[in-house]
């Protein structure tokens, strides 16, 4: 740990990596909480994997891959959301199709991209140590958009997440806010790609929020705690991976996964303890 802290002071790339993890954790905590409570992690997975098609096409045509990722993610989110609203029975099929097609299209474009061959592994599993400065500004802008939208539409999101039918009866345009929620998921996926890559996005999107959900029932409190946990996992994973020279993204996910398993066990023990106390009090 001392070696990591010393290197953090002297090396700009480590400072950028730490900042990237903190920025990604903001979207991870805020939107990840909505994903966990609404139980749409599978949808988020479909959006995440379809992004590779947009990144591959952007690289092929000489454009910024992040812009390609954002475009592909939003298009996929709208397609999945539209099918879910119109033909719920076909939702799983479409998600699976977009998942596979997006990956295949992206790999084909990357394979045919002239010039320097893109490192496919870094796209799939992330490379937080190589996040450029322009990407940090891009991530900051995306975080600002997420916070503003969630802040302005918080009550509508709560209504849609917990009871769509009641929200519809109260005059809330459920379809609009549902699609907007999926677009926020798409933006968050693009944020997390910089840190852990396409394959590991869902873990970092859901695990901090799931841990917070073990102990909290307020949506706002869950968002705050999930954001702090995301920051702890990204920073801790970066520190743990530095000494042994391990890939940072997978290390972050293993840290988050271990924390989730431990939290689930603790939450289960606490629930049993409370149930036993109630039984004794009732007896």
Q: Residues 99-132: pLDDT tens digits?
A: 888 889 988 988 888 765 556 677 777 788 888 8
User: Residue 155: its pLDDT value, please?
Assistant: 93
41-52: pLDDT as tens digits = 888 888 888 888
217-254: pLDDT as tens digits = 899 999 999 999 999 999 999 999 988 888 888 999 99
Q: Which tokens hold the place of 26? A: 């903001």
User: Residue 178: its pLDDT value, please?
Assistant: 92
Count of the separate structural domains present in the chain: 1
| 268 Cβ contact list (under 8 Å, min separation 6) | none
Q: What are phi and psi of 180, to 5 degrees?
A: -65, -40
Give the H or E element holding residue 184.
Answer: helix 174-196
Show the domain range for 182.
1-281
CATH number for the domain that contains residue 170:
1.10.3470.10
pLDDT lower than 70: segments of the chain: 1, 88-91, 115-120, 282-283
| 49 Cβ contact list (under 8 Å, min separation 6) | 98, 99, 100, 102, 103, 198
Q: Which tokens hold the place of 221? A: 């409190």
Q: With b meaning 16 or more CB within 10 Å and e meaning fewer, what string describes 147-181?
A: eebbeebeebbebbbeebeebeeeebebbebbbbb
């Amino acid at each position: 740990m001392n070696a990591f802290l010393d290197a953090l002071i002297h090396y700009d790339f480590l400072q950028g990596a730490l900042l990237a993890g903190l920025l990604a954790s903001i979207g991870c905590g805020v939107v990840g909480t909505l994903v966990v409570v609404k139980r749409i992690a599978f949808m988020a997975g479909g959006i995440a994997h379809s992004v590779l098609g947009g990144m591959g096409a952007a690289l092929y045509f000489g454009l910024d891959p992040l812009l390609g990722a954002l475009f592909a993610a939003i298009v996929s989110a709208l397609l999945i959301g539209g099918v879910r609203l119109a033909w719920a029975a076909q939702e799983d099929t479409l998600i699976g199709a977009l998942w596979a097609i997006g990956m295949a299209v992206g790999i084909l474009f990357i394979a045919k991209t002239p010039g320097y061959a893109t490192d496919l592994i870094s796209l799939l599993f992330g490379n937080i140590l190589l996040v450029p400065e322009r990407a940090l500004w891009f991530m900051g802008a995306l975080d600002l958009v997420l916070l503003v939208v969630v802040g302005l539409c918080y009550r509508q999101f709560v209504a849609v997440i917990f009871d769509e039918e009641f929200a519809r009866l109260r005059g809330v345009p459920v379809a609009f806010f549902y699609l907007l929620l999926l677009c926020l998921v798409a933006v968050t996926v693009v944020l997390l790609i910089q840190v852990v890559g396409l394959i590991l996005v869902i873990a970092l999107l859901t695990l901090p929020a799931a841990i917070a959900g073990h102990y909290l029932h307020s949506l706002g409190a869950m968002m705050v705690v999930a954001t702090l946990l995301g920051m702890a996992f990204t920073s801790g994973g970066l520190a743990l991976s530095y000494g042994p020279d391990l890939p940072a993204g997978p290390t972050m996910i293993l840290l988050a996964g271990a924390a989730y398993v431990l939290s689930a066990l603790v939450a289960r023990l606490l629930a049993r303890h409370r149930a036993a106390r109630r039984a004794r009090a009732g007896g």
